[in-house]
Amino acid sequence: MSPTPATNAVLAEQLGPEVVDPFGSAEPARTRSERHWHATACMLCSVNCGIEVSLGSDGRTIERIRGAKQHPLSQGYTCEKALRIDHYQNGAHRLTAPMRRRPDGSHEPVDWDTAITEIAARLAALRDEHGGERIFYYGGGGQGNHLGGGYGAALQHALGIRYRSNALAQEKTGEFWVDGQLFGATKCHTTGDYEHAQVAMFVGKNPWQSHGFPRARTVLKEIARNPDRHLIVIDPRRTETAELADIHLRVRPGTDAWCLSAMLAVLVDEDLLAHRYLDEHAVGVDDLVAHLSKIPIGEYCAVAGVAEADVRAAVRLIARADGAAIFEDLGIQQAPHSTLNSYLEKLLYLLTGNFARRGAMNIHSYFVNLIGGAPDGVSPVLGARTINGLVPGAVIAEEILTDHPDRYRAMIIESGNPVHSLPDSPRFREALRALDFVLVVDVAMTETAREADYVLPASSQYEKWEATFFTLEFPHNLFHLRRPIIEPLPGTLAEPEIHARLLRALGVYSDDDLVDLRAAAAAGRAEYASMFFAELGRRPNLAPVVAVVLYETLGPALGAGEQGAAAVWGLCQLAFLNFADSIRRAGYESGDELFDALLAHPEGVVFTVDDPTESFARLVHPDGRIHLVVPELLDELAALGDGPDTDPRFPFVLSAGERRANTANTIFRDPTWRKKDPAGALRMHPDDAVTVGVDDGGRVRITTARGSAVAVVEVSDALLPGHISLPNGLGVADVDGTIHGVAPNELTTATHRDWLAGTPLHKYVPARIEAIA
């Protein structure tokens, strides 16, 4: 049973931030006590709050959802989105058989054996004719669906796939690149200790809706209520977080770089730098200060549309804080000067000494290095920079459609919907149709799946072993290995089994290769560990597909139904090698002990406890210092000019993809889960509504350089004049083909991207608006 409209109203208007057993008051105590609650997690944002669910009598329907009090980080907290997960689990969108494209473009169901055999033959033929580097891999870890991506890596290695991408390549690669320049490696990702920060600043981030750290709404309210703590927000929108802020620097859209550089110039102007700290831990201070001292603070504040007095007040709070933590997100990472914005934001906490200390920014531990460590390279056709081995999403279509001998010939797309999520959806559809072969692995017939030659139906996140590798917290970092709580939908398979079958069909290994490992697994974990590493050395064909080898050998020995967790055993060994001291502080003396704890605690486990001083030990530069000077970005800073580019044909700035209370992502395809704003309204300022000649609830046509769409208007002074926004996650097709709301990337262009990282500028799309009678 899904939450009722009345329940949603209570959640949104009365309970507000925390929802603990929201249905409890409406259900008799005896009935509630008789329910069986299964520990799992919400998968609708990167935080993955712990929840408990109760199933209906059919064993498939999620009837009740509540926050899991025993979850070590969320502690019973969850927002309203988690209450709607049955729309994902049991929506009409679920696929129940492999689908094969007919010559006329439609799809027909086929059995699994036929699908696996034909797909393996097509992939092998393409590899043999063009080389594995001409097969492109996208995804391998959709929101909350990361464990399958680990098994997908085995298929990539088996085919010799070299080029890949995922959602990170259109959001975070610029930030990762900056981390690499400052700290020595892209894996040196920092996170904020917001729980203990005296000052918390959010740049292009609204954690009230998009979260980003545990118990976000609770933490925000705690900071706002404490007169000794302060909230600073940089955002053109008056968001829910901005409403709580002590200082809201309401920048004009696209001017974040001017605001942030003015803040850095104030540090120099008022001599607020942490000199002793910088002398000990950083290099390049004098060179950087010389650049910052040239910035005209008043002029840049005017460009950004913020008061210089407010900018100075915000900088003083950060510089004098007993711990300041800063969160940057898509609002600046998908805006003009994307990578530069990340650099300037990081300089703000580094120059004030808010690094490697409690309540500030620290380099966190991780269960899996999700960011990766591949050296920078270039894509084969356009020569676009690949950061962490990821090809920018904005160039993939052109890499396919350019007449070039090294263009991609096929794509494997797993747990992703790039037709909807990447810029210029029409162009990406054209690119998929130009490929020789497209394989999609997903739970639904998505916009991307409709263009595929084969679609393999995956079991849902609640029907298989699953995990999320967004282990980004400090000082206590949690990993949650989630058990299946529902039997797989008939006709679906979990990704480990899908990849194992494909690898067998490709002839990568046989039963003879696995005999000794299976015998060792049956004898015990210690025997298996010894044999495992010996066999990898003796059989080099197994090393690249290690996750599937674990699934096939250790998996059956774990016990009935636990095979899908096998790869996590190997990951535990790697985690212990990387962070032994932190894992020991959490109470585990080996990777095996950690693995046993993950199996025994379905509510999640704190696997590392970090100390702030370890952030210095995690620096990778040979001199052990922070390198403050990044020449490419200082050149861009010096050339900022008098404001972002404008086009008189398109006088509005569209933010294409705003997170709202009634949006999540495209894994929710049933529109009935949205009780409010089902059409996904275009928000605009009252003055603009008057100018355009439209009332609240009226219709307008949005036109960009790429295309146009019709939207319903919501008049709101939360936006500045000239600034309009559309929500994320809409514009997807219902099972009957009906499209609800506007798909933002039907309006974006792939060429409108950051020069360095290739990040698309979705938060700054020039547009014009016309009223429709």
Residue 483, exposed/middle/buried by CB under 10 A (0-12, 13-18, 19+)? middle
Name the least confident of 21-25, 437-441, 465-469, 512-516.
21-25
**Count of CB atoms within 10 A of residue 276's CB?**
9
Q: Which residue has the higher pLDDT, 463 or 150?
A: 463
In the chain, the percentage of residues whose pLDDT exceeds 70 is 95
Instruction: Identify the pLDDT of residue 31.
Output: 53
pLDDT band at residue 354 using 50, 70 and 90 as cut-offs = very high
Judged against a pLDDT cut of 90, whether residue 7 lies above it is answered with no
Q: Is the pLDDT of residue 33 over 80?
A: no
Peptide bond into 227 cis (omega under 30): no
99-171+372-457: CATH, from 3.40.190.10, 1.10.620.20, 2.60.40.1110, 3.40.50.740: 3.40.50.740
Identify the bridge partners of residue 703 per DSSP, sorted by sequence position: 708, 768
- Residue 744 to residue 706: CA distance in whole angstroms: 11
Longest Cα pair distance anywhere in the chain, in angstroms? Answer: 77
Query: Distance between CA 313 and CA 147 in Å, rounded?
Result: 45
Please determine, for residue 19, whether its predicted confidence score (pLDDT) is greater than 70: no
Instruction: State the Cα–Cα distance between residues 625 and 282, nearest whole angstrom.
Output: 5
Mean per-residue pLDDT for 248-273? 98
CATH class of 174-367: alpha beta
Q: Which of 485, 671, 466 is nearest to 48 (CA)?
A: 466
CATH classification code of 652-772: 2.40.40.20
Chain mean pLDDT for the chain: 92
Q: Show Cβ contacts of residue 113 under 8 Å, excluding neighbours closer than 6 positions.
A: none
Q: What angle do CA 124, 454, 496 make, to 5 degrees?
A: 75
Beta-bridge partner residues of 94: 444
Q: Is the pLDDT of residue 20 over 50?
A: no
Task: Write the pLDDT tens digit of every residue in 299-348.
Answer: 999 999 999 999 999 999 999 999 999 999 999 999 999 999 999 999 99
- Per the DSSP assignment, residues forming a β-bridge with 249 are 234
Residue of 421, 505, 419, 413 lying closest to 456 (CA atoms): 413
702-744 pLDDT, tens per residue?
Answer: 999 999 999 999 999 999 999 999 999 899 888 778 888 999 9
Residue 3's pLDDT is: 31
- C-alpha span between 482 and 506 (Å, rounded): 30
Predicted pLDDT of residue 5: 32
Identify the bridge partners of residue 136 per DSSP, sorted by sequence position: 411
**Which part of the chain has CATH 3.40.50.740?**
99-171+372-457
What pLDDT does 710 receive? 97
Picking from 338, 342, 304, 310, the residue whose alpha carbon sits closest to that of residue 326 is: 342
- Which tokens hold the place of 566? 């096998």
Q: How far apart are the first and last CA of the chain?
A: 40
Which range, of 176-180, 235-239, 669-673, averages the lowest pLDDT?
Answer: 669-673
In the block, residue with structure tokens 């439609």? 106
Angle between helices 566-578 and 546-558 (to 10 degrees): 110
What are the residues whose beta carbons fall under 8 Å from the beta carbon of 536, sequence distance 6 or more?
A: 542, 543, 546
Per-residue confidence (pLDDT) for residue 84, from 0 to 100 = 87
Look at residues 197, 237, 203 and name the one whose alpha carbon lies nearest to residue 220. 197
Query: What is the Cα–Cα distance from 527 to 565, expressed in whole angstroms?
Result: 19
Q: Which amino acid is at 485?
A: I
Could you tell me which of 133, 125, 151, 160 has the C-alpha nearest to residue 456? Answer: 151
The three-class DSSP label of residue 50 is strand
Beta carbons of 163 and 285 less than 8 angstroms apart: no
Q: What is the pLDDT of residue 12?
A: 31
What average pLDDT does range 665-669 have in this prediction?
A: 73
Q: What is the pLDDT of residue 13?
A: 32
Statement: the pTM of the whole predicted model exceeds 0.85: yes
Tens of pLDDT, residues 611-641: 999 999 999 999 999 999 999 999 999 999 8
**Tokens 């894509």 — which residue?**
379
Q: List residues bridging with 387 in a β-sheet.
A: 390
Question: HEC profile for 230-281?
Answer: EEEEECCCCCHHHHHCCEEECCCCCCHHHHHHHHHHHHHHCCCCCHHHHHHH
The average pLDDT across 548-562 equals 94
Q: Which residues contact 118 (CB under 8 A, 6 or more apart)?
A: 100, 110, 454
Q: What pLDDT shows up at residue 15?
A: 29
Q: What is the mean pLDDT of residues 54-80?
A: 95
The 8-class DSSP code of residue 394 comes to G
Q: From 673, 503, 708, 560, select the one nearest 84 (Cα to Cα).
A: 673
CATH 3.40.228.10 intervals, the chain:
174-367
- Backbone angles phi and psi of 771, in degrees to 5: -70, 145
332 phi/psi in degrees, rounded to 5: -110, -20
CA angle 712, 714, 720 (to 5 degrees): 125
SS (H, E, C) 63-125: EEEEECCCCCCCCCCCCHHHHHCHHHHCCCCECCCCEEECCCCCEEECCHHHHHHHHHHHHHH
Residue 9 has pLDDT above 70, yes or no: no
Q: What is the 3-state secondary structure (H, E, C) of 637-668?
A: HHCCCCCCCCECCECEEEEEEECCCCCCCCCC
113-133 per-position pLDDT tens digit: 999 999 999 999 999 999 999
Predicted confidence at residue 34, as pLDDT, reads: 67
Ranges for all domains in the chain classified under CATH 2.20.25.90: 5-89
| pLDDT-wise least confident of 368-372, 429-433, 656-660, 726-730 | 368-372
Average pLDDT over residues 502-515: 94
Sign of the dihedral through C-alpha 667, 4, 14, 731 = positive
Give residue 729's pLDDT.
87
* pLDDT at residue 16 in the model: 34
Supply the pLDDT for residue 514: 94
Q: How confident is the model at residue 585 (pLDDT cuts 50, 70, 90)?
A: very high
Amino acid identity for residue 585 in this structure: R
What's the helix, strand, coil split of the chain in %, to 5? Answer: 40, 20, 45
> Confidence class of residue 673 from pLDDT cuts 50, 70 and 90?
confident
CATH 2.40.40.20 in the chain, residue ranges? 652-772
**Amino acid (1-letter code) at residue 474:** F
State the residue for tokens 């398109």: 650
Count of residues for the chain? 773
Distance CA 187, CA 391 (A): 17
**DSSP string covering 433-447, please?**
HHSSEEEEEESB--T
Residues forming beta bridges with residue 76, ordered by sequence position = none
- CA atoms of 529 and 532, how far apart (whole Å): 5
In CATH, what number does 5-89 get? Answer: 2.20.25.90
What is the Cα–Cα distance from 620 to 346, expressed in whole angstroms?
A: 17
Q: What six digits make up the tokens of 29?
A: 């105590």
Closest CA to 246 of 161, 349, 318: 318
